[in-house]
Amino acid sequence: MSTFTPVTRDYLTPIGVMPVIVLDAVEHAVPVAEALYAGGIKAVEITLRTPAALDSIKAIKKACPHIIVGAGTIVNERNLEEVAEAQVDFAVSPGMTVALIKKAEALGVKLLPGVATCSEILLGMEHGLSCFKLFPATAAGGLPLLKSIYGPLPQVTFCPTGGLTIDDFDQYLALPNVACVGGSWLVPKAAVDAQNWQVITDIALRTTGKIAK
């Protein structure tokens, strides 16, 4: 029997800022996650863009029980099966289909699907969802779009991802319909390649320091 429960605002709000991470080597997974955690980051999204992704998720899940571990770039049902087997805490997709929603329900995986229009949001709402990833956030309309959506759909909550930076993410968090944000600025590829974990911690500290307490 499925243990599916949809992603809720209460689930997203404590996360605040969610690093979107691409890992090329499994051995980098735990050091990156711990470096982020040392800077106050509570959750990570490991994208399924490299062959190392699934094993990286498993490594973090095993070594870092204090960190919420999500899988990103979910684009088909097979991806959902793989991350369910890896026991992720949640899954994130760049878009949304009915097939993905139903598969997530069947597997008991918390799914945060990507949307960019009101029509997509309404479709998700028809399937019991109230929280979505706005993607690509800045290209789709950014802050003005989110403010416009709030008028007719105040009951919907977002995690904007795509194009946000350390300089403007807090403007998104200040909106009433945003619970958390996602971004790649927290984990620069150069820092990972150099295994300079302190750089990642420093960026995380600068980031979390901007979040209103």
Catalytic residue annotation = 45, 133
- Reference 117, options 146, 93, 92, 143; nearest CA is 146
Which residues have C-beta within 8 Å of that of residue 141, sequence separation ≥ 6? 148
Calculate ∠ Cα 134-137-143, nearest 5°.
100
In sequence order, what are the beta bridge partners of 182? 18, 161
Angle, helices 53-63 vs 77-85, to 10°: value is: 30
End-to-end CA distance of the chain: 40
Cα separation of 79 and 109, whole Å? 11
